[in-house]
Structure 1
Amino acid sequence: MYQNKYIYLMMLPGILFFIVFKFGPLWGLLLSFQNYSPFAGFWGSEWVGFKHFAEMFQSAQFYTMLRNTVLINLFNLIFYFPLPIVLSLMLNEVRHEFYKRIHQSIVYMPHFLSWVVVASVTFFVLSTDIGFVNKLLYTMGIKPIPFLSQPQFFWALLTAQNIWKDAGWGTIIFLAAIAGVDPARYEAAVIDGASRWRQIWHITLPAIRPTIIILFILRFGSMADVGFEQVLLMMNPLVNSVADVFDTYAYNQGILRGQTSVGVAVGMFKGIVGLCLVLSANYTVKKLGYEGIY
């Protein structure tokens, strides 16, 4: 450690970040085993064991929340996850550096918008009364479609928002992986007469496969987690049946109703499920012959 002291010194900010913001707050998970009261404090609150977990599993909302959470994430996994890969391959094929940077800047920009802005844009685009899509349909003699209040559109709407906002930002890691491919491999492929498509299929994709696998494992591990702010802003009483997820349940119980222990129990349940999913996905990937995350 003394010989590499400067390396450890550079690591120190990251280590402190994890200690203060990740490991330090873990003691708060104990609140899920209490009927926590801010007035009684941590040591004065009643210990109730697994009561909150049992009530959550027995709740009529549990299976609805589980279904909504899984399906929303499944939509993202199927339709959103591959798009940054495809987009990064397309950007990599742009040969003019100036236009390439312009295109990269354009696709990165939505990432820096808050979900409040994205929800507002969605409202102005798809609402029944002022949305320009429905105004266009009206001019064509088609009855306006209530996109924001019909449950069958909700999951697709969330997926479309994720694609528009973060698909461009997700290309950064894949573009970095593509930049690390040895140019000599492409030169050899050109000499052998390989087309651009063949070069992508036989050189680029195999080279970035480890990155794709690692990001897939991490993405699969977040299947119990849904963007809380996005769902909260887009949900309304007409779509609650397909919008209620574990995050909104924790918010309603823990913040609005003051049942802090219930909210912590939901968070702990999500964490355990996420850990199990990461371990199972990593195990499956390694069994298939690929390198996992550990």
Structure 2
Amino acid sequence: MEHRYLGRSGLKISEIIYGNWLTHGSQIENDRAFACVHAALDAGITSFDTADVYANTVAEEVLGEALKGQRRESLEIFTKVYFPTGPKGHNDTGLSRKHILESIDGSLRRLQTDHLDLYQAHRYDNETPLEETIQAFADVVRQGKALYIGVSEWNADQIRAGQHLARELGVQLISNQPQYSMLWRVIEERVVPASQEVGVSQIVWSPVAQGILSGKYEPGAEPPEGSRARDEKGGADMIKRFLRDEVLEAVQGLRPIAQDLDLSLAQLAVAWVLANPNVAGAIIGASRPEQVTENARAAGVRLSADVLARIDEVLGDVPETDPARTVSPPTRVA
């Protein structure tokens, strides 16, 4: 496993990050979740990402239990705040000072740790003044409850404004967590240049496009049994936008490239996002330990310019590139 600096900071994270969205506390039983976490540790993964909203706080509990007994200083633990949790009352959502300061205490308790390495705003809150949000995050850092702050799915202007306020308050905003893959490239035109300008790295989610880039979905065929496309708990809704024959045919066209490099299609997909110099890490999820082991092997793989050009040629105009698709909720989800 290789490590990269996160943003313009001294914090190093593993190139492959284990995330438990849609799995822990939801899709898989706890014993399998523990096995996946231990497979991540065995593969050299030191960075773990979750959020309080995943499985309505249960995912944090499962991750905390799975990491119990590990040397805390050897890990980087990330979580997020914004979406409604608990009884989902009127103040149980957003990025108000009240919600942030109450939420981090709950996250620390569930994760069984006294601090987070990275605390992230899960979305931009259009109903709370940005000054209030960043001040609350700065206080969390000063209290020692988080070492650094980050955001998720913020657009270029929001990242610039957030970093400006953070610097005024003497804290570091060092990361953005967007969706990014060969098929979903909406951050490239605006978010990445803005992030490079202000010292923010990307921690990307869904580098394998919810499994589409693994090649297991074939054009004209029904999704395999047990796959995310058949999961009615949320996975099916996320993946359906990619389940088009033109997308699936293009993905199958990547097989010769992967074979030439002795990589699986999933490994090629993860290596592709890591080829972007503004990406510090790629989050992988898994329902089986062997998936973790396989995808972790993408760490350290460096794709040449010729390979990247071949990938672009095969995919053509299939990838989504419209920067306007980076959109935070217009109002709070409550």
Name the structure where strand makes up a greater proportion of residues.
2
The TM-score by the shorter chain falls in which range?
Answer: under 0.3
Larger RCO, structure (CA 8 Å, separation 6 or more): 1
- Higher-Rg member (1/2): 1
TM-score scaled by length of structure 1: 0.24
Name the structure where helix makes up a greater proportion of residues.
1
